[in-house]
């Protein structure tokens, strides 16, 4: 491999991959014909960490080397690119391609580029149960000037996309790890649904403001509504867990008034490991960065300042009583671990919306975090969701018990 040009090519490929959209016109599952840049990109400096010419060899862009790529520039490929199981993009760039004055000499061997953003743009990966799944991603702008990242099924917006399922993750997590890595995306797509998940503000690749006012429950609700409008989602099923579940509970009346909701399932609407009541009862101004880290554990260690601001506002502690649940005219279901504290929210729903609350899936031997964490999520979690959204009976599985609404309300 020729050091300068091949390394420059690999560096260009990396930056193109990170900022690219996919030409779907000829793409097969798991491959793309061309990468198209969405914005100006300058390639300069050392990219050793990200470039692999083989399993044992790395290349770097020499100091001072630079190629500027204009918006919508296509990176021509000699054959379809392929995303490997390890998350590397295998590229065969067209020989002697000329892009913005950069002559790119190639060898017969493919270049391997570590490109996690390509995995988020268009991918074919293995879910936990081995099912193939693909998704696309993008950034949406909120009315207060922040960015919200979304991931969605590749067919979102197409006639054959299937019913949309909107997924809202817990505090300290993100859309990809909670819903894609765990296999929920793949299971839902396998049942004919089109999952859409948001990185809530303060999480994942979305903007992370450090002021508590930015996490007001009204503002979080507007993020979801504005995102659905931007994506053209007019009808959907909904599921949220923990922070996402608390947000969904408070958002349902607004969504119902717009005729958006087909059905809704919420789970674990509280803080990890039963800390909800403790945090709610103490002075929230003490929810500083050190406190959030010490009390929440490694699962919540993303941007500590953003999480401290979120915990200070604590939208999950706002009362449910003023919300008009009796007016909800669609099926509702809860999902919780059997050692999780927020079961009281389920009882509130069961009493206030008895005609539409079907019951609760209670997962055995699970605390709050263990129910939703990708490595410990019960195998039946996604199946229970898919069955509920399909209007089918809950599947019989040994790792959970389904408690009907009458039993929940009376407990």
**Cα 392-398-399 angle, rounded to 5 deg:** 90
pLDDT of residue 143: 93
Which residues sit opposite 151 in a β-bridge? 137, 197
Q: Give the residue from 86, 119, 89, 115 showing the smallest Cα distance to 15.
A: 115
pLDDT of residue 203: 93
The answer to whether 69 and 14 are in contact (CB under 8 A) is no
Residue with tokens 């919306």: 353
Regions of the chain with pLDDT less than 50: 1-73, 84-89, 101-133, 270-301
217-220: long-range contacts, CB 8 A cutoff, minimum separation 24: 217/247, 217/250, 217/313, 217/315, 217/318, 219/144, 220/247, 220/315
- For the entire predicted model, the pTM comes to 0.64
What's the rounded Cα separation, in Å, for the pair 22 and 283? Answer: 49
Give the DSSP letter of residue 169: P
Number of Cβ within 10 Å of residue 404's Cβ equals 13
pLDDT of residue 49: 24
DSSP line for 263-326: EEEEE--S-GGGTHHHHHHS-GGG--HHHHHHHH-GGG-S-HHHHHHHHHH-GGGS-STTS-GG
pLDDT of residue 106: 40
What's the rounded Cα separation, in Å, for the pair 16 and 34? Answer: 10
The answer to whether 77 and 71 are in contact (CB under 8 A) is no
What's the rounded Cα separation, in Å, for the pair 95 and 372? Answer: 47
pLDDT of residue 335: 92
The domains of the chain are located at 3-121, 125-410
**Is residue 44 packed enough to be buried (19+ CB in 10 Å), middle (13-18) or exposed (0-12)?**
middle
Residue with tokens 């089918």: 392
CATH domain 125-410 topology: Rossmann fold (3.40.50)
């Amino acid at each position: 491999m020729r050091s300068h040009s091949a390394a420059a090519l690999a560096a260009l490929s990396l930056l193109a991959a990170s900022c690219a959209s996919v030409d779907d016109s000829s793409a097969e599952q798991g491959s793309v014909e061309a990468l198209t840049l969405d914005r100006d990109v300058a390639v300069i400096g050392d990219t050793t960490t990200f470039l692999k010419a083989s399993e044992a060899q790395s290349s770097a862009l020499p100091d001072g080397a630079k190629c500027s790529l204009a918006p919508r520039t296509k990176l021509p490929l000699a054959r379809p690119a392929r995303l490997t199981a390890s998350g590397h993009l295998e590229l065969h760039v067209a020989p002697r391609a000329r892009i913005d004055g950069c002559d790119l000499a190639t060898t017969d061997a493919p270049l391997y580029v570590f490109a996690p953003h390509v995995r988020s743009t268009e991918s074919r990966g293995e879910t936990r149960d081995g099912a193939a799944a693909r998704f696309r991603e993008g950034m949406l702008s909120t009315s207060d000037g922040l960015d919200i990242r979304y991931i969605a099924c590749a067919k979102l917006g197409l006639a054959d996309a299937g019913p949309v399922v909107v997924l809202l993750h817990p505090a300290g997590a993100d859309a990809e790890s909670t819903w894609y890595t765990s296999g929920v995306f793949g299971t839902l797509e396998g049942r004919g649904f089109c999952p859409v998940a948001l990185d809530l503000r303060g999480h994942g690749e979305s903007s992370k403001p450090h002021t508590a006012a930015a996490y007001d429950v009204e503002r979080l609700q507007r993020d979801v509504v504005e995102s659905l409008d931007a994506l053209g989602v007019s009808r959907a099923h909904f599921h949220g867990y923990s922070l996402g579940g608390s947000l969904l509970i408070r958002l349902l009346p607004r969504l119902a008034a717009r005729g958006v909701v087909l059905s809704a399932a919420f789970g674990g609407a509280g803080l990890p490991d039963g800390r909800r009541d403790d945090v709610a009862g103490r002075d929230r101004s003490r929810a500083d960065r050190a406190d959030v880290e010490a009390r929440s554990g490694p699962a919540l260690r993303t941007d500590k300042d953003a999480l401290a601001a979120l915990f200070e506002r604590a939208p999950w502690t706002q009362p449910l009583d003023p919300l008009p649940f009796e007016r909800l005219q669609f099926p509702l279901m809860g999902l919780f671990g059997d050692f999780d504290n927020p079961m009281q929210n389920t009882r509130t729903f069961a009493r206030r919306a008895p005609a539409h609350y079907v019951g609760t899936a209670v997962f055995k031997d699970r605390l709050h975090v263990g129910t939703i964490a990708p490595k410990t999520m019960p195998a039946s979690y996604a199946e229970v969701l898919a069955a509920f959204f399909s209007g089918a009976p809950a599947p019989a599985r040994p790792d959970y018990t389904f408690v009907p609404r009458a039993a929940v309300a009376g407990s």
